[in-house]
């Protein structure tokens, strides 16, 4: 191609472009053209922004999914613990409030739930193997419970053969009053009522298998009554999560 012919053509082309741009500006058509192409420019810019932030969005979605999986696993574990606690035939009207143990000392624990979650005094505190204690103080956010091992804890109990279904009143072998403390005992058990070592102790009038422990020794009767020593089946200092039965009350 002849370079002498190319340069004038290039010059003419650039001159025409310049004239067109001047005319667009003179007649106000440049602003019209800008308004016409602006929506497309915004979409392009928005698409670019979304692409640039796609990795962040994917990371957030991944974090949310991981949290959902953790929450789901926690719920499954709690449901499993409740099923172990209640056995194969749980009372259908019994409901639970999960609580974390915040702190504790001899005979009592502080829980992460309060009146805001519907917690009230004398509601039972349980774990997946039986009864821990009962609520004694409540504020809006927190509550306090005394444990079976507290010297203040006292409750009517039944004693069942370890081959019978605990909680069924018609199968109870004996009745008495359980008193907490360094040594957990059942008093006021009639001397003629059949009780042996290994028999299970649980609250009277409280549905479900909320076992407190088992009989480990039996004293000789003094008058009409004999006394039982009970091995409590819980170690509260080894627990982090417990349940409050929020539609039943202990005396």
Task: Identify whether the C-beta of residue 208 lies closer than 8 Å to the C-beta of residue 169.
Answer: no
Domain boundaries, the chain: 3-52, 154-232
Q: For the domain 154-232, what is the CATH code?
A: 2.40.10.350
pLDDT in tens, 12-65: 766 676 666 666 566 655 555 556 655 655 554 555 555 556 556 566 665 655
Residue-wise burial string across 207-217, b where 16 or more C-beta atoms lie within 10 A, e elsewhere: bbbbbbbbbee
Quickly state the pLDDT bin for 155 (edges 50, 70, 90): very high
**Predicted confidence (pLDDT) at residue 238 exceeds the cutoff of 50:** yes
pLDDT score at 209: 72
Highest average pLDDT, of 4-8, 91-95, 223-227, comes from 223-227
Dist CA 138 CA 119 (whole Å): 7
CA distance 178 to 198: 16
Whole-angstrom Cα distance, residue 99 to residue 111?
6
pLDDT of residue 113: 94
Please indicate whether residue 236 or residue 87 has the higher confidence score (pLDDT): 236
173, 194 contact by CB (below 8 A): yes
Longest dimension (CA), the chain: 134
pLDDT digits (tens, 9 = 90+) for 93-108: 778 898 999 988 888 9
**Three-state DSSP class for 154?**
strand
From residue 78, give the alpha-carbon distance in Å to each of 17, 75, 81, 83, 126.
75, 5, 5, 9, 12
Label residue 88 by pLDDT band (50, 70, 90). Answer: very low
Distances (CA, A) of 248 to 53, 87, 150, 185, 211: 52, 18, 21, 24, 16
pLDDT classification of 197: cutoffs 50, 70, 90: very high
Helix, strand, coil shares, percent, the chain, to 5? 35, 30, 35
């Amino acid at each position: 191609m002849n370079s002498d012919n190319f340069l004038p053509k290039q010059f003419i082309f650039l001159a025409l472009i310049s004239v067109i741009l001047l005319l667009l500006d003179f007649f106000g058509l440049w602003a019209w053209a800008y308004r016409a192409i602006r929506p497309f420019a915004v979409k392009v810019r928005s698409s670019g922004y979304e692409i640039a932030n796609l990795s962040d969005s994917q990371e957030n979605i991944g974090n949310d999914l991981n949290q959902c999986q953790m929450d789901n696993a926690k719920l499954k574990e709690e449901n499993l613990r409740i099923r172990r606690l209640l056995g194969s035939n749980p009372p259908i009207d019994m409901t639970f409030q999960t609580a974390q143990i915040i702190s504790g000392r001899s005979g009592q624990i502080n829980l992460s739930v309060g009146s805001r979650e519907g917690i009230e005094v004398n509601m039972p505190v349980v774990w997946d193997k039986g009864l821990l204690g009962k609520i004694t103080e409540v504020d809006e956010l927190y509550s306090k419970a005394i444990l079976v091992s507290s010297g203040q804890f006292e409750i009517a109990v039944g004693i069942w053969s370890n081959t019978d279904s605990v909680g069924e009143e018609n199968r109870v072998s004996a009745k008495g009053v359980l008193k907490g403390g360094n040594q957990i005992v059942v008093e006021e058990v009639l001397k003629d009522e059949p009780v042996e070592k290994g028999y299970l102790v649980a609250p009277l009038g409280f549905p479900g298998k909320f076992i407190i422990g088992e009989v480990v020794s039996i004293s000789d009767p003094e008058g009409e009554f004999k006394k039982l020593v009970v091995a409590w089946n819980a170690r509260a200092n080894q627990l982090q999560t417990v349940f409050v039965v929020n539609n039943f009350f202990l005396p």
